[in-house]
Structure 1
Amino acid sequence: MSNNIYIEYRFTVEPKEPASDILIAELGEAGFESFVEEEDEVLAYIQKADWSLDILNDIQILTNKNFKIRYGYKEIEQENWNVTWEQNFQPIIVDDVCMIRAPFHEPIGVEYDIVIEPKMSFGTGHHETTHMMLQHILKLNVKDKTVLDMGSGTGVLAILTAMRGATKIDAIDIDNWCFLNAQENVIRNKMDFISVYEGDVALLKDKKYDIIIANINRNILLEDLPEYVKSLNKNGILLLSGFYTEDLDMITQKCVELELKFEKNLERNNWVAAKYVN
């Protein structure tokens, strides 16, 4: 595995809410891959190969006079980032039945014990969108269902569907580091029947699923929704997240145009995870 070089940005944000969420969303669209939230700071990481000195030019919140945001950056190697997340990564419990923890945390005997080593990948359960998607999955009957986890990051959502009885699961992410990390995590959780792919929506050609999970961002969701719908079996379920409360109407309108029905949504700190059916 290559020893990737990353650029670490350290942002001091005042007031932290809702500025940190907006900052992370805008940085994600600019190509930043991973984030660590500390008490009054946000750490953001991007591969040096994808970085340029003007990378922050389109980050609008930096010029918003309602917030005071200071930042600096430095070059780090992959191992240094791993130390950073190990120092900050705390296990989480979702609905008292699902635990997301690192290999160095002790299990506590919950029904679904997921061990994730995220490295540079999104999806530890700490971010609101991942947390809500886990909640949605815990409410679904996934037994013997076919599942797609699109934009899978660490693979945590795919792994939970496997633990709950899904029989055929694909996890797809466009980022090579996420692809490699998800492969590691499905093996770590003894769910290596999950198929992990590197790529984008083009991989969905001629594939069909009972449940499609996509936790990406608003613009990619809107662009790729027609392909998701083509790949959804009759009476299928589509779970979408990665967008804000104010984006829900736009996402729902697009889904309705594609003959999906809105069923319900969860909200957490202005983030949304919505459920649609056909």
Structure 2
Amino acid sequence: MQWIEITITTTEDASDAICEMLSQIGADGIAVSDPYEIARIIEDPDSLAYADEGYIESLGSDVTVKAYFAEFDDGVRLGPKNEEYVDPNGVGMIYGNIADKTMPAKNALKLIEDKLAEIGQFLPVGRGLTGHRYVQDKDWENEWKKDYTSFEISDRVLICPSWEEAEVKEGQIVVKLDPGSAFGTGTHETTSMCAEILDKLIKPEDKILDLGTGSGILAIICDKLGAGHVEAVDIDRLAVDVAEDNCRNNDCADIDCYTGELKDAKNSDYTLIVANIIADIIAAIAPDVPARLAPGGKFVCSGIINTKKDKVEAALAAAGFTILEKHEKNDWMAYICTLEN
């Protein structure tokens, strides 16, 4: 067996979708080098990070995603790592499942190029697949870790990989999360905006639904910030499995993780529903959210590219929501909404 490292040169907007696609087709590890995130950390006045003059400019504008697949004598290993997720029809999987377990390397590369083209229909993927190479076991073991380190996602929340012991400030909570799952680790603007909002909103009496939970990061943040009851739901069974593992790893086993959509939510009196998904889905579900909120409850939605903000704002208004706050980072929007009286 050997490891094949596949390099994709993309944009910040598309990097999360590409990571999720790679995970779903069977990547054993994923590493992301995002110059925008590095720049934000260095330029943060509260950060202790330092860089020589000109370093940030030298990073360029491309986001590099590296995915690692195991190659055996009969080909590159693809497909879910658990038989529970094998579904030739791709039901519940955003980018479709892969039924074949192995295929020649050139076919695997072609598959990835095809998947990138699909993503390119709604997000700018940049240059796409730019190369591949073979790496030794020991090289891969450390390669995927070196670009991911602790960072503050909000005033009180520190995201930390499992292999690192971070310095924790007084009053901070730590969320242990590794990048390999590709269902969201907090580095994207949409997730960080949600975290910042939750940091200010969460109260002990809150009953929260994290809709489209992915890695479970937002549900875990809610739980650690003291919310009384937290549910995490996702249409993807693999995401729910990842979220459950992350909840256990963070001593948040009381979070109720389950597979489903908004219609499958277990309660109709949530004080807060958070949805970090995509604009079209937020617009589509907006009419159904009010029936799930308690009086005075809030709806926090993110994952909205600014070119679709008018569509989302119109859908929220039609559903009876008033937007209390608008948050923006780069090209992404997040809203705090409540129902009109």
Give the TM-score normalised by the residue count of structure 2. Answer: 0.66
Match of 1:86 among 137, 145, 169: 145
Q: Match of 1:88, SS? A: coil
Asked whether the 8 Å contact 1:147–1:210 carries over to 2, the reply is yes
Alpha-carbon distance in structure 2 between the residues aligned to 1:250 and 1:63? 17
Instruction: Output aligned runs, 1:120-199, within 5 Å.
Output: 120-199=181-260
Asked whether the 8 Å contact 1:91–1:99 carries over to 2, the reply is yes
Give the paired residue count. Answer: 263
1:10 maps to 2:7: yes
Return the offset for 1:144. Answer: 1.1
Root-mean-square deviation over aligned CA pairs: 3.5
1:23 maps to 2:7: no
Match of 1:56 among 113, 116, 122: 116
Return the offset for 1:131. Answer: 0.8
Q: Match of 2:181, SS? A: coil
* The structure with more strand, counted as a fraction of residues: 1
Alpha-carbon distance in structure 2 between the residues aligned to 1:239 and 1:82? 37
Return the offset for 1:99. Answer: 0.4
Return the offset for 1:114. Answer: 1.3
Instruction: Output aligned runs, 1:39-118, within 5 Å.
Output: 39=35, 40-43=62-65, 48=79, 50=97, 53=111, 54-60=114-120, 68-72=127-131, 85-110=144-169, 111-118=172-179
Q: Match of 1:119, SS? A: helix
Alpha carbons of 1:214 and 1:153: their partners in 2 closer, same or farther (altered >3 Å)? Answer: same
5+ residue gaps, structure 2, are: 25-29, 36-61, 70-77, 81-96, 99-109
Identity of aligned residues (%): 24
Deviations 1:252-276 (A, max 9, x none): 1101100010111221121112111
Partner of 2:273: 212
Q: Match of 1:165, SS? A: coil
Larger Rg: 2
Q: Match of 1:86, SS? A: coil
Return the offset for 1:222. Answer: 1.9
1:249 maps to 2:310: yes
Asked whether the 8 Å contact 2:207–2:272 carries over to 1, the reply is yes
Alpha carbons of 1:224 and 1:83: their partners in 2 closer, same or farther (altered >3 Å)? Answer: farther
5+ residue gaps, structure 1, are: 1-6, 14-19
Partner of 1:3: none
